[in-house]
A and B are shown apart, each in its own frame.
Chain A
């Protein structure tokens, strides 16, 4: 009896730490009359404060998984628990509330080109009804954090790729999100700029401690940032575990552990 109480208590404690939990998630699409199984039986757990990497070749379901995790898509089967809530059963209003706890950084930066840098960064706070003075103050702090205070009045068209991604990071951080999704954050950048952005993401994690879910096809990116990694192959989990452990098992995995997938 004491053992059962201990196990339940342990599970509860583990549950408290859990930011994301997927159980048997499946997703299919119909393309030209054929059913395409984008995700098969995906189960995983991501704890608070972890940096979790998802890697795999093109077409293995990385983007679909990220869409499900970021609440942009519902799974066909299985359960998805985010911050302890089963998102397959929540209302639209509850989903909106959960979205306020998350931020997304896209591959293509996704800045609004008709807004200057300050307005781009402060936009999430504007949507939350924060006063202009307060949101600008916070945006300036975030721009200082990403090292772009001097670009405050500039428009995105005048920014380099690296600067645009820094602005996107500042915008994602302004709401102090518990969960940060990154979709190929460095794939559109040259090598040196990509490294600078990775350093900034690492600095972000150290400073704000968000849980990070990162999708990348670049192994260096995953190795540099992640605590845990999941390798997707043939639209299902091929391997999952701590990055160091997986690294040791890399022998015979040359195809996956090459420079790029």
Chain B
């Protein structure tokens, strides 16, 4: 595939791929843990395992819904003033990571929340009857039971983040999206670059999905044949 590109284009595509992977990994590192914690909290409040500060969780739930509802392109623009005040710039790498992390947190939260809510409700009674602490409830019961659906939720979130990362070039985030559209599509001689960028994105999605499926399948013992 790379042989279709000249030396300059090859350098551009390698740089863009690394930028995309960087955006994806860093925003995932931020959004997966935070989104998981928020998703767990939302689910455990929904299941009435936690009751204190319910209003705070309701506000959090509304914020998650709002962030998920705003089209990502608009979200990037809306947070520009915040980015400027925080990072001293409204464009570039950090504002891109911020916007990707925000949408990532919201996406992961809802998917994790749904995974936990779908869990067999008797598990809570079981944990309680065994005298499990809240931490043990999470570690020994919930996490064990939902771990494979969590992996699928993370996989789905990573695929979404990759899609979102293709438009952060609007605020100077770079990546394969920038190469495909700005250098590829808008250039009279850059169509090959556009197609190579697109194929690379497809390959990354397929690899992420395949690895996620393999891991989730390995961790899921609810299917016969294990």
What class of interface size applies to chain B in its complex with A?
Answer: 20 to 34
Contacts of A99 in B (CB 8 A): 128-131
Name the contact of B132 in the complex, choosing from A103, A110, A116, A127 (C-beta under 8 A).
A127
Q: Which residue of B lies closest to A99 (CB)?
A: B131
Interface string of B128-165 (1 = CB under 8 A from A): 11111000100011001101100000000000000000
Would you list which residues of chain A between 196 and 237 have a CB under 8 Å from chain B? none
Helix, strand, loop or mixed for chain B's interface? Answer: helix
User: Is the Cβ of A157 less than 8 Å from the Cβ of B222?
Assistant: yes
Q: Which residue of B lies closest to A124 (CB)?
A: B130
User: Is the Cβ of A114 less than 8 Å from the Cβ of B129?
Assistant: no
User: Is the Cβ of A112 less than 8 Å from the Cβ of B145?
Assistant: yes
Q: How far is the CB of A115 from chain B (nearest CB, A)?
A: 6
What class of interface size applies to chain A in its complex with B?
Answer: 20 to 34
Q: How far is the CB of B44 from chain A (nearest CB, A)?
A: 17
User: Is the Cβ of A127 less than 8 Å from the Cβ of B226?
Assistant: no
Contacts of A127 in B (CB 8 A): 130-132, 136, 140
User: Is the Cβ of B126 less than 8 Å from the Cβ of A96?
Assistant: no
User: Is the Cβ of A115 less than 8 Å from the Cβ of B122?
Assistant: no
Contacts of A124 in B (CB 8 A): 130
A106 contacts chain B at the CB level, 8 A cutoff: yes
A177-B133 Cα distance, complex, nearest whole Å: 19
Q: Tell me the B residues contacting A by CB distance below 8 Å.
A: 120, 122-123, 125-126, 128-132, 136, 140-141, 144-145, 147-148, 219-224, 226
Give me the 4 closest cross-chain CB pairs, A-B, nearest first: A99-B131, A104-B129, A155-B221, A113-B222
Q: Tell me the A residues contacting B by CB distance below 8 Å.
A: 70, 72, 96, 99-100, 102-104, 106, 108, 110, 112-116, 123-124, 126-127, 155-158, 181
A-B contact pairs, 20 of them (CB 8 A): A70-B129, A72-B129, A96-B131, A99-B128, A99-B129, A99-B131, A102-B129, A103-B129, A103-B130, A108-B122, A110-B126, A113-B145, A113-B221, A115-B221, A124-B130, A126-B140, A127-B132, A157-B223, A158-B224, A158-B226
